[in-house]
């Protein structure tokens, strides 16, 4: 709105200047164009006018007009300067307000975006933590069961080996101490106990 | 050709013993035959000294080895025995004595089959007892097997010991 006022003032100043120049030119031109008696009177009047409005007078008028014009221009320029300053200050104020508003809006949006992103990150971290916790528990259970199974397997192997070692030791220790003659009764009793099976083996094998 | 069923002496235990006895009888037969050829018509009065097994065979079966029929019968019997006798492989932890083997052989011939032959093996790892293998089956009556069968008892003992005296 202030710019428009400035433009109107400038246009009005330029129009006033043009009108002044045009009046001066018209007056000069009119003084030379009439040649009728009336014209002659006019010429005579002009001549007189020339005598009155001679170059010095004209120059004086021009100077006065110029000074007046300069004065008007100066006044208008002052007004224009004042308006311009006012407009500039208003423009600055307006720009400040607009920029402030825009920045505030943008910052608000930015903050909202950051808050959303933060919330999403927090949710994601929470989910990840839950998943990790579940996997940790699952792996813990699996590890426990595997450790237990391994422990049982090792105990089983240890017992097996222990039994083999003891057997081997006992066999090695007493093997040479047992006389075959002392075993005769045991051997005959075992044979007697398994007589049927041996006999069947012989019959069916033959 | 059916041969007279003879009693197998307890000295003949294994198939090798039976084959050796058969070879001895065949050699004796050849010897008698050759002697008769040399002295045609003369009767043989004496024989080379027989082995203990052959002696037992002759005595237990009342065979006169000077008679050709008896020799032939014995050879036929042994040939059939080598061919068809049931054989059992029996293993002990140490080398058995002949007396011991005689008792074992007697039991088998009395209780299972009078023609049975035993192949004796040595298996020191069994410590005591014996293992028996027929054509189709394997019987383990060894101390090693007894220990294996009683392994759970041993393990229970170890577990109880660990329970009462933990490390």
**Per the domain annotation, does B10 fall within a domain?**
no
Asked whether residue B80 falls in the same domain as residue B95, the answer is no
Average pLDDT, chain B: 85
β-pairing, B87-92 vs B129-133, is: antiparallel
pLDDT for B113 beyond 60: yes
**Per the domain annotation, does B167 fall within a domain?**
no
β-pairing, B129-133 vs B117-122, is: unpaired
> Considering only CB atoms, which chain A residues are within 8 Å of B94?
180
> Considering only CB atoms, which chain A residues are within 8 Å of B136?
201, 204-205
The H or E element that residue A133 is part of is helix A55-175
Show the CA angle centred on residue B121, arms to residues B118 and B123, nearest 5°: 145
Q: Do A181 and B155 touch (CB under 8 A)?
A: no
Residues with Cβ within 8 Å of residue A89, at least 6 apart in sequence:
none
**Per the domain annotation, does B141 fall within a domain?**
yes
**Per the domain annotation, does B163 fall within a domain?**
no
- What's the domain count of chain B? 2
Please report the pLDDT score of residue A41 as a whole number: 78
Asked whether residue B35 falls in the same domain as residue B96, the answer is no
Asked whether residue B53 falls in the same domain as residue B106, the answer is no
pLDDT for B1 beyond 60: no
Q: Do B100 and A201 touch (CB under 8 A)?
A: no
Coil vs helix vs strand at B11: coil
Asked whether residue B38 falls in the same domain as residue B71, the answer is yes
* Contact of A183 with B97, CB cutoff 8 Å: no
Cross-sheet strand order for the sheet of B117-122: B117-122, B87-92, B129-133, B138-142
* Contact of B32 with B71, CB cutoff 8 Å: yes
**Per the domain annotation, does B160 fall within a domain?**
no
Q: Which domain holds residue B52?
A: 15-84
Asked whether residue B95 falls in the same domain as residue B141, the answer is yes
pLDDT for B83 beyond 70: yes
Higher pLDDT, A199 or A170: A199
Asked whether residue B55 falls in the same domain as residue B99, the answer is no
Q: Give the closest of A167, A175, A195 to B124, CB-based.
A: A175
Please report the pLDDT score of residue A119 as a whole number: 95
Asked whether residue B99 falls in the same domain as residue B71, the answer is no
* Contact of A146 with B123, CB cutoff 8 Å: no
**Per the domain annotation, does B29 fall within a domain?**
yes
pLDDT for B19 beyond 70: yes
Asked whether residue B79 falls in the same domain as residue B23, the answer is yes
Please report the pLDDT score of residue B108 as a whole number: 92
> Considering only CB atoms, which chain A residues are within 8 Å of B114?
none
Can you state the angle between helices B151-164 and A55-175, rounded to 10 degrees?
120
CA A23 to CA A28: how far, in whole Å? 9
**Per the domain annotation, does B154 fall within a domain?**
no
Please report the pLDDT score of residue A104 as a whole number: 92
Q: Do A162 and B127 touch (CB under 8 A)?
A: no
Domain boundary among B31, B65, B84: B84
Span A66-95, pLDDT tens digits: 888 888 888 888 888 888 888 889 889 998
Q: Do B107 and A191 touch (CB under 8 A)?
A: yes
Asked whether residue B78 falls in the same domain as residue B42, the answer is yes
**Phi then psi dihedrals of residue B144, to 5 deg:** -60, -45
Higher pLDDT, B31 or A174: B31
Asked whether residue B65 falls in the same domain as residue B24, the answer is yes
Domain boundary among B84, B117, B140: B84
B149-153: average pLDDT: 80
* Radius of gyration over every alpha carbon of chain A, rounded to an integer in angstroms: 64
A175-180: average pLDDT: 73
Q: Is the pTM of this model over 0.90?
A: no
> Considering only CB atoms, which chain A residues are within 8 Å of B88?
198, 202
Asked whether residue B45 falls in the same domain as residue B101, the answer is no
CA A194 to CA A191: how far, in whole Å? 5
Q: Do B136 and A201 touch (CB under 8 A)?
A: yes
Asked whether residue B109 falls in the same domain as residue B54, the answer is no
**Per the domain annotation, does B60 fall within a domain?**
yes
Show the CA angle centred on residue A156, arms to residues A150 and A159, nearest 5°: 140
A149-155: average pLDDT: 90
pLDDT for B167 beyond 60: no
* Radius of gyration over every alpha carbon of chain B, rounded to an integer in angstroms: 24
């Amino acid at each position: 709105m202030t710019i428009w006022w400035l433009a109107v003032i400038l246009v009005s100043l330029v129009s006033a200047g043009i009108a002044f120049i045009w009046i001066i030119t018209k007056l000069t031109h009119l003084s030379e164009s009439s040649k009728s008696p009336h014209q002659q009177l006019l010429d005579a009047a002009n001549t007189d006018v020339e005598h009155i409005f001679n170059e010095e007078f004209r120059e004086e008028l021009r100077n006065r007009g110029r000074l007046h014009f300069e004065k008007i221009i100066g006044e208008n320029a002052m007004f224009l300067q004042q308006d311009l300053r006012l407009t500039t200050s208003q423009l600055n104020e307006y720009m400040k307000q607009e920029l402030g508003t825009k920045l505030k809006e943008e910052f608000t949006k930015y903050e909202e975006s950051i808050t959303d992103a933060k919330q999403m990150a927090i949710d994601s971290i929470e989910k990840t933590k839950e998943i990790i916790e579940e996997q940790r528990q699952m792996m813990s259970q699996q590890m426990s069961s595997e450790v237990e199974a391994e422990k049982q397997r090792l105990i089983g192997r240890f017992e097996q080996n222990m039994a083999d070692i003891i057997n081997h030791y006992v066999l090695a220790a007493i093997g040479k101490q047992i006389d075959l003659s002392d075993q005769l009764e045991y051997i005959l009793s075992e044979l007697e106990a398994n007589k049927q099976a041996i006999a069947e083996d012989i019959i069916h094998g033959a | 050709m059916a041969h007279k069923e003879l009693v197998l002496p307890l000295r003949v235990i294994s198939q090798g013993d039976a084959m050796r006895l058969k070879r001895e009888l065949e050699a004796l037969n050849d010897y008698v035959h050759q002697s008769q050829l040399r002295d045609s018509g003369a009767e043989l009065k004496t024989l080379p000294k027989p082995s203990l097994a052959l002696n037992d065979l002759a005595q237990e079966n009342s065979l006169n080895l000077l008679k050709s029929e008896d020799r032939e019968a014995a050879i036929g019997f042994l040939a059939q025995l080598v061919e068809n006798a049931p054989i059992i492989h029996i293993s002990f932890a140490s080398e058995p004595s002949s007396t011991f083997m005689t008792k074992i052989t007697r039991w088998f011939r009395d209780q299972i089959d009078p023609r049975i032959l035993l192949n004796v093996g040595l298996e020191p790892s069994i410590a005591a007892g014996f293992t028996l293998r027929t054509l189709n089956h394997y019987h383990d009556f060894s101390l090693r097997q007894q220990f294996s069968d009683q392994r759970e008892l041993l393990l229970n003992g170890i577990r109880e010991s660990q329970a009462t005296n933990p490390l």
